[in-house]
């Protein structure tokens, strides 16, 4: 046997050994012998790889996005949604032979194989398909067996896994699908996962609109999103972009002139990171709990399944609501600060500072609990770190302020701000059209529409009168403004006589419509005594108040339980909706990532009160605008003209809470204003009343809505019942009194703004 034949046998033996060894190794990796290799994804998962997809929340138009829910901010796109310039830039940079290989590039394979044989593996050979394998399955970080304890052996196993997965992906998907999946799974930095979000973040464009200039930046970010970030590291980004552009020139995709021009051009950024605190942020965070509950019940992941959630929120109305809250609260905060004259805003009923307010409040904060657990309740370190000055950025109406404050100082600073909540809904459909839960979600996370519950003050009075009307009383029923005393089963306080806001009783006989319009406490108490507190509780629950209410005499002034603005707006809508309570709701349907409807939602409805009682209550509420001394008389002529408006103000004791509820034939909205704590309020009750603190928000919102023809909300009149009322509504004629009225039936008396809304 000559030497030549011996060499042939040796070569074939080596090839056979390599083949058998390779097959054995692949089999061992797939079956994870003895836990050495960590295993591979199942065949099913390889055929249908899952990506974490962002779930999108849409406005009522179904086009504009409110926001999103995600673990990784990613929205998938198809190949036909990618610009050719983006695709070309990617291929010349990452895998020029992508269209010619089957997942493993021979040249890269030989380079990588050389490293394996010499145990000097230095990477290389990673095609786009292999990189996709890493992006989808975390081959370098997940499912690591015991052999990974040796770093070099671990690198070799990882590369072998990627080869196996890449071949399977290539057999399951087209090149176009693989390329789109690759771009969809990349992290580009600044909370941008996937090419669609990255294009939006850096250039405010769709992937289909990306040019070579922009593509060079996006492709640069693929391997080092921080190092080559054009905002954070512009010098590195410029150098990398030049390298990518040169690849385009080298492979003949652009000419020398284009290359020379592009490499010296600016980045062309329109940079904006997705801000979770923009738009109806309070709405988005509050309803997240409902969405998570729905997902749990139906087997979906809100943060990964790419759901499409359609809401009732009207984008234009939402913007007007946000602007109304911000504009008014900016002005009101200025008034509030000036009237304090440097004094602390946390005061008792006598206007004196509550000296232990800061100590009590800071003990409820997460920072305090963290420091207490670390250093102990009475340690000097706890006190030191609570008062240690730190650099921080704080909220102001003039813009964010960079300053130095301690934790105690920042708590004092933030508790000086008045908060607000506002909600508007269509009474007939239950559609919530606008939701503003506070003055700035970035700095004040607590929602004052649904999360927060406060005493409703006089906004509860309509339920007392509704119960009376349901029992046969009429809006013209006369009552004397005189003390009403309740006998209580309390040894310390055996009786209770509610006071009017001004502290006196006029002795005047007035109708209950006039009394509700002026918010006269004694007359509401008189009616409550006649019908019983339980009747008022039952009426409130029937109309949609779900919070627990105590059937006690003080409930006639709204002091028998806390309610949310969400509940109040829904309950007042019952009067407009002819006695039918319609649940305020905000989600119309949920679709999966492919647009298949998973569920359509409809609000709950129930007959709460008769159509007659509902209409009589609208007539009662209109009294706030029409009656002399009515708390809605100060509304502008622009909003009142040719328009039925029912209204009710509310102010709790010490003016801790200011409320305004306004109803029209096609929109019901409410506003609340107060401190984050009930102890934070105006010193002067009149300055903190609902007509001054909350009513301007409603009025500005309504004026903006009426002025915008694109919204389609028009003025109009309340719908009358189909059957005759059989009740006299003209109380002046009923009482034999002749008064001059204007075209709206409003008494021609200008009582002045300062007399509006005198109630608790």
Cα distances (angstroms) measured from residue 585 to each of 172, 424, 697: 43, 11, 22
**Cβ-proximal residues to 5 (8 Å cutoff; 6+ apart), any chain:** none
Position 152 confidence tier, pLDDT thresholds 50, 70, 90: low
Q: What is the DSSP letter of 730?
A: -
- The answer to whether the pTM exceeds 0.85 is no
Distances (CA, A) of 299 to 53, 165, 304, 552: 15, 28, 12, 45
What value, to the nearest 5°, has the Cα angle with vertex 451 and ends 706 and 295?
A: 95
Using one digit for the tens of pLDDT, what is the confidence trace for 5-18?
555 545 445 544 44
- The domain made up of 32-44+77-263 is a member of CATH 1.10.150.300: no
pLDDT digits (tens, 9 = 90+) for 422-454: 999 999 999 999 999 999 999 999 999 999 999
For the residues 148-163, what does the mean pLDDT come to? 58
| Cα–Cα distance measured from residue 347 to residue 683, given in angstroms and rounded to the nearest whole number | 8
Q: What are 87-131's pLDDT values in tens digits? A: 999 999 988 888 888 777 766 555 555 555 444 544 456 888 888
CA–CA dist 432, 282 (Å, integer): 13
pLDDT at 159: 67
pLDDT digits (tens, 9 = 90+) for 694-743: 999 999 999 999 999 999 999 999 999 888 887 878 887 544 433 333 32
Instruction: Phi first, then psi: give them for residue 692, nearest 5 degrees.
Output: -95, -35
Domain ranges of the chain: 32-44+77-263, 354-415, 418-755
3-state secondary structure of 719: coil
Confidence at residue 730, expressed as pLDDT on a 0 to 100 scale: 80
Give residues with Cβ within 8 angstroms of 130, minimum separation 6: 103, 104, 162, 163, 165, 166
Best CA proximity match to 237, nearest among 275, 204, 272, 269: 269
> Each residue of 465-491: pLDDT tens digit?
999 999 999 999 999 999 999 888 776
How buried is residue 58: exposed, middle or buried, by Cβ count under 10 Å (0-12/13-18/19+)?
buried
Q: What percent of the chain has pLDDT over 70?
A: 82
End-to-end CA distance of the chain: 114
Residue 748 has pLDDT above 90, yes or no: no
Q: What does the pLDDT look like over 353-405, one tens digit per residue?
A: 999 999 999 999 999 999 998 888 888 899 999 999 999 999 999 999 999 99
Cα distance between residue 658 and residue 674, in whole Å:
6
Which residues sit opposite 65 in a β-bridge? 58
Sign, CA torsion 530/548/619/750? positive
List pLDDT tens digits, range 209-240. 999 999 999 999 998 899 999 998 999 999 99
Q: Evaluate if residue 278 carries a pLDDT over 90.
A: no
pLDDT the model gives residue 552: 94
Beta strand pairing call for 390-394 and 587-591: unpaired
Q: How far is residue 317's CA from residue 39's CA, in Å, rounded to a whole number?
A: 54
Query: H or E stretch including 163?
Result: helix 151-172
As assigned by CATH, the class of the 418-755 domain is alpha beta
Distance of CA 699 to CAs 160, 449, 553, 706, Å? 68, 18, 32, 11
How many residues are listed for the chain in this entry?
Answer: 760
């Amino acid at each position: 046997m000559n030497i030549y034949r011996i060499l042939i046998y040796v070569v074939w033996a080596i090839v056979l050994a390599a083949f058998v060894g390779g097959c054995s190794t692949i089999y061992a990796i797939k079956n994870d012998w003895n836990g050495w290799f960590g295993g591979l994804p199942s065949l099913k998962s390889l055929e249908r790889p899952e990506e974490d997809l962002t779930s999108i929340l849409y406005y009522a138009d179904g086009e504009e996005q409110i926001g999103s829910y995600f673990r990784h901010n990613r929205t998938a796109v198809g190949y036909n949604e990618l610009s050719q310039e983006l695709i070309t830039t990617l291929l010349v940079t990452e895998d020029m032979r992508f269209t010619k290989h089957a997942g493993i590039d021979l040249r890269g394979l030989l380079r990588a194989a050389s490293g394996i044989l010499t145990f000097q593996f230095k990477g290389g050979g990673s095609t786009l398909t292999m990189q996709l394998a890493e992006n989808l399955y975390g081959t370098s970080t997940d499912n690591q067996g015991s052999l990974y304890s040796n770093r070099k052996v671990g690198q070799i196993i990882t590369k072998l896994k990627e080869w196996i997965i890449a071949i399977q992906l290539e057999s399951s998907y087209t090149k176009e699908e693989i390329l789109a999946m690759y771009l969809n799974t990349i992290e580009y930095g600044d909370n941008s996962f996937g090419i669609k979000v990255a294009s939006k973040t850096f250039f405010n464009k769709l992937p289909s609109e990306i040019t070579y200039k922009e593509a060079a930046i996006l492709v640069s970010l693929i391997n080092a999103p921080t190092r080559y970030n054009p905002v954070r590291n512009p010098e590195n980004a410029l150098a990398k972009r030049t390298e990518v552009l040169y690849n385009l020139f080298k492979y003949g995709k652009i000419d020398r002139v284009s290359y020379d021009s592009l490499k010296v051009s600016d980045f062309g950024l329109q940079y904006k990171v997705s801000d979770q605190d923009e738009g109806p942020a309070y709405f988005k965070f509050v309803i997240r709990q409902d969405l998570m509950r729905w997902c749990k019940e139906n087997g979906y992941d809100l943060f990964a399944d790419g759901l499409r959630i359609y809401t009732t929120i009207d984008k234009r109305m939402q913007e007007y609501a946000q602007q109304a809250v911000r504009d008014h609260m900016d002005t009101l905060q200025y008034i509030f600060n000036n009237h304090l004259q440097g004094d602390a805003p946390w005061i008792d009923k006598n206007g004196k500072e509550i000296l232990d307010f800061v100590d009590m409040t800071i003990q409820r904060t997460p920072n305090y609990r963290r420091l207490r657990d670390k250093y102990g309740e009475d340690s000097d370190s706890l006190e030191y770190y609570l008062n240690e000055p730190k650099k921080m950025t704080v909220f102001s109406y003039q813009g964010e302020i960079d300053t130095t404050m301690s934790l105690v100082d920042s708590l004092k600073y933030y508790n000086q701000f008045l908060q607000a909540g506002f909600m508007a809904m269509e009474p007939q459909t239950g559609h919530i059209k606008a939701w503003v839960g506070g003055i700035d979600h970035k700095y004040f996370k607590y929602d004052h529409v649904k999360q927060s519950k406060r005493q409703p003050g006089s906004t509860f009075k309509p339920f007392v009168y509704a119960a009376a009307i349901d029992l046969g009383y009429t809006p013209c029923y006369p009552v004397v403004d005189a003390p009403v005393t309740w006998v209580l089963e309390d040894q310390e306080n055996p009786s209770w006589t509610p006071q009017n806001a001004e502290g006196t009783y006029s002795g005047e006989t007035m109708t209950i419509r006039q009394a509700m319009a002026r918010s006269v406490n004694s007359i509401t108490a008189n009616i409550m005594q006649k019908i019983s507190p339980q009747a008022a509780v039952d009426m409130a629950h029937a109309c949609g108040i779900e919070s627990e209410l105590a059937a006690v005499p003080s409930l006639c002034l709204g002091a028998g339980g806390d309610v949310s603005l969400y509940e109040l707006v829904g309950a007042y809508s019952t009067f407009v909706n002819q006695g039918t309570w319609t649940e305020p709701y905000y989600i119309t349907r949920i679709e999966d990532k492919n647009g298949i409807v998973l569920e359509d939602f409809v609000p709950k409805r129930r007959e709460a009160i008769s159509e007659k009682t509902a209409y009589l209550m609208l007539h009662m509420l209109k009294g706030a605008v029409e009656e002399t001394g009515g708390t809605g008389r100060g509304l502008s002529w622009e909003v009142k003209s040719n328009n039925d408006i029912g209204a009710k103000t509310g102010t709790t004791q010490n003016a801790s809470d200011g409320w305004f509820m306004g109803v029209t034939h096609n929109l019901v909205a409410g506003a609340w204003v107060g401190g984050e704590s009930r102890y934070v309020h105006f010193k002067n009750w009149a300055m903190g009343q609902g007509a001054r603190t909350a009513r301007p928000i409603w009025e500005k919102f309504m004026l903006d809505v009426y002025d915008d023809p694109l919204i389609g909300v028009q003025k109009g009149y309340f719908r009358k019942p189909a059957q005759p009322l059989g009740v006299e509504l003209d109380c002046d004629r009923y009482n034999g009194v002749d008064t001059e009225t204007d075209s709206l039936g409003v008494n021609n008396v200008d009582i002045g703004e300062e007399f509006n809304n005198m109630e608790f």
